[in-house]
Chain A
Amino acid sequence: MKYTAIINDKTYQVEIGAHNTVNINGKVYQVDFRLVDGNAQYSLLLDNVSWEALVAREGDEYRILIGGELHIVVVQDERTRKMAKAEGAQAAVTGEALIKAPMPGLVRGVPVKVGDAVAARQGVVVLEAMKMENELRTPRAGMVKEVRVKAGDRVEQGQVLVVIK
């Protein structure tokens, strides 16, 4: 079975063969791959070279930690590669920037209101989490379209707080 692994725009052709072999970019290795711990810790012997990896999956991405280095890998086979191409063509830019809570916390203040013009990197929400006040900034210039929270609100991670148009 042939797969294409993509890491940061670089592709790796990986063919999984019979008798515990794997062919990567034309080189063939003996492979012994085991889950060793807690459903995320793996041990890999690649031609007897020993590797440990911590693996998490988020959607289509594998986030693989090896010795502190994080590799974000997307794997495609023939079919998914075609689908990805088609989706990419449809994707449209909405033109809105959503300021989301990066962590659960308490809103300490919203120094902007609907209709305000904001500059790139301007602070739009002050969020307190883990005893620190964090200023959340807009990634780009624009106008405040919506303010969905007020000082004193408790918010969850990922919750949209302010929308910039």
Chain B
Amino acid sequence: MFKKVLIANRGEIAVRVLRACRELGLQTVAVFSEVDRNALHVRYADEAYCIGPAPARESYLRIDRIIDVAMRARVEAIHPGYGFLAENDEFARACAEAGLIFIGPPPQVMQKMGDKIEARRTVSRQGVPVVPGTYEPLRDEEMLAAAKQVGFPLFVKAAAGGGGKGMRRVETIEDLPSAIARARSEAESAFGDGTLYLERIVKPARHIEFQILADARGNVIHLGERECSIQRRHQKMVEEAPSVALDDKLREEMGHAAVAAARAAGYVNAGTIEFLLDKERNFYFLEMNTRLQVEHPVTELVTGIDIVKEQLRIASGRALSYRQEDVQQRGWAIECRITAEDPYNGFLPSTGKIISLHEPTGPGVRLESALYEGFEVSLYYDPLIAKLCVWGPDRAAAIMRMKRALSEYKILGIATSIPFHQRLFQSTSFIGGVFDTTFLDERFTLEPGGSEETAEVAAVIAALLTHEQRQHALTIPPPTHSTRGGWKRFGALEGWR
């Protein structure tokens, strides 16, 4: 095993990887942008190096600077986390050329699966079912012709895409040209590659993905599924493991297909095979993510396997620590993605300083976070600020535990998605497990209001605060009005006694 690792990332995932390294007794090196000097990953690492100004393209995306730090700090391996350079084959190649181990798949595999068109071709050759669509890079006019074959509604997707970027839903052929133009421009600016493909919309469908582990000796196993259908505009908000939609037989079938897909790609390290599962329980390969996944903790919680440590072992050339028959799912795990967005204001990004923080703890709760009091949430990076994960012996227990943990979680200074999660966990559809990928966008609304009981309490609180303010009006300056979108301090109001 190597002795020293550089983590080319920031935020909660950098902290997550640092922890795994620490627990394996490895030395750690963090990199940071100028605004992240005080960040937890800088403070938790053994060494930390500034790699440039706040914008990611001038720091966390600077391959040259990261490699330079790796050489100066004499690390042997680099973990990319997710996002930033995690699926950048150029970065993986640069590591190899510098004699560094990239903790992830070989660059040519990453390139093959990162090109969604190539990935569709690769896995379909192995008999894995793929969502109907196009299999070649096409020019605009060719796409218009192909669209008639694929059928509407359909998705225009970026071959280099992910996370909903460069992706457009199209209902009719009239809307296709503008959707292609918009998707191409978004894909070019996000990925530097405007290649697009078409994919029929399989609806209603669940998003089910399988965690894969593969070593360099040809062993490939899966760690079961994750249910990721709770999505808002194609961004996952809640994930769970296992899924209510699978029984043992289907799990085995899909797991088998996932392993076949990973083998077809020549995959090494931790990866994820994403499927759509329709109402008739047909499943289709969607894409492969050639990296650690945001929602990996739910799999860890039900299997007891530390995926990041396995990544480090695999990258050091060791064989997998587990055989397929060793992998058992036990109980139920759920993750909420806590984002700096205001759910009561159209999920607009919210920025500002964390003025107070109280994090949930207690039995069965795991929090992946990079927050601390005084931390400044900026617009420079992804709005994901923490992941709240719980485990319970069954789904009902996990849901109750998540509700409990959410009610303990207090973040002051910015608006967060926590109220959204609290309302979602009151939804009978969600609690009943009756949902697909359209649930959040089409059948779940978040409006102000709630029970009569909390309304009455709110009325009392507002009256008490108004009263308090009147009593002190002559001695205390008037409150400063907070700007929209943040639960900010609102002046010199004190508790009413």
A residues near B (Cβ < 8 Å) are 1, 3, 5, 7-8, 10, 12, 14, 16, 20, 22, 24-25, 29, 31-42, 44, 46, 51-59, 62-75, 77, 102-104, 108, 126, 128-133, 135
Residue of A nearest to B451 (CB): A69
| A/B pair count, beta carbons within 8 Å | 194
For the complex, what is the distance from the CA of A8 to the CA of B486, rounded to whole Å? 21
For the complex, what is the distance from the CA of A71 to the CA of B412, rounded to whole Å? 17
Chosen A-B contacts, 29 in total, with CB atoms closer than 8 Å, are: A3-B463, A7-B449, A12-B455, A16-B464, A31-B460, A32-B497, A33-B461, A33-B464, A33-B495, A34-B497, A37-B358, A40-B412, A40-B487, A41-B410, A51-B454, A54-B410, A54-B487, A55-B487, A57-B490, A58-B481, A63-B487, A67-B422, A68-B421, A70-B450, A71-B455, A73-B461, A75-B466, A103-B348, A128-B189
Q: Which residues of B contact A38 (CB under 8 A)?
A: 355-356, 412-413, 489
Q: Is the CB of A75 within 8 A of B463?
A: yes
Q: Which residues of A contact B489 (CB under 8 A)?
A: 38-40
For the complex, what is the distance from the CA of A57 to the CA of B484, rounded to whole Å? 9
**Pairs of residues from A and B, 6 with the lowest C-beta to C-beta distance, nearest first:** A68-B422, A69-B450, A38-B356, A71-B458, A5-B459, A12-B459
Residue of B nearest to A11 (CB): B459
Q: Is the CB of B419 within 8 A of A51?
A: no
B482 partner, pick from A1, A32, A33, A57, beta carbons under 8 A: A57
Q: Which residues of A contact B465 (CB under 8 A)?
A: 55, 57, 62, 75
Q: Which residues of A contact B460 (CB under 8 A)?
A: 5, 12, 14, 22, 24, 29, 31, 44, 46
Q: How many residues of B contact A (CB 8 A)?
A: 63
Q: Is the CB of A10 within 8 A of B455?
A: yes
The secondary structure that dominates the A interface is: strand
Q: Which residues of A contact B449 (CB under 8 A)?
A: 7-8, 69-71
Q: Is the CB of B458 within 8 A of A35?
A: no
Given the known A-B contacts A14-B460, A40-B487, A40-B488, are A35 and B495 also in contact in the complex, defined by CB atoms under 8 Å? yes
B423 partner, pick from A44, A69, A135, beta carbons under 8 A: A69
Q: Is the CB of A70 within 8 A of B448?
A: yes
Given the known A-B contacts A24-B456, A38-B413, A56-B488, are A5 and B463 also in contact in the complex, defined by CB atoms under 8 Å? yes
Q: Which residues of B contact A135 (CB under 8 A)?
A: 182
Q: How far is the CB of B35 from chain A (nearest CB, A)?
A: 16
Mark B405-445 against chain A: 1 for CB-CB distance below 8 A, else 0. Answer: 01100101100001111110010000000000000000000
Q: Which residues of B contact A126 (CB under 8 A)?
A: 182
A130 partner, pick from B189, B346, B349, beta carbons under 8 A: B349
Q: How far is the CB of A8 from chain B (nearest CB, A)?
A: 6
Residue of B nearest to A72 (CB): B448
Q: Is the CB of B165 within 8 A of A131?
A: yes
Q: How far is the CB of B226 from chain A (nearest CB, A)?
A: 24
Q: How far is the CB of B268 from chain A (nearest CB, A)?
A: 29
Q: Is the CB of B487 within 8 A of A56?
A: yes
For the complex, what is the distance from the CA of A98 to the CA of B441, rounded to whole Å? 26
A58 partner, pick from B450, B458, B484, B495, beta carbons under 8 A: B484
For the A-B complex with A62-B462, A67-B407, A73-B462 known, give 15 more contacts whose Cβ atoms are closer than 8 Å: A1-B470, A10-B455, A38-B356, A40-B490, A52-B407, A55-B465, A55-B490, A64-B458, A65-B487, A66-B458, A71-B450, A75-B465, A129-B349, A131-B165, A132-B165
Q: How far is the CB of B337 from chain A (nearest CB, A)?
A: 14
Q: Does B190 contact A (CB under 8 A)?
A: yes
Q: How far is the CB of B491 from chain A (nearest CB, A)?
A: 7
For the complex, what is the distance from the CA of A151 to the CA of B412, rounded to whole Å? 36
Q: Which residues of A contact B456 (CB under 8 A)?
A: 12, 24-25
Q: Does B467 contact A (CB under 8 A)?
A: yes
For the complex, what is the distance from the CA of A67 to the CA of B466, rounded to whole Å? 22
For the complex, what is the distance from the CA of A32 to the CA of B460, rounded to whole Å? 11
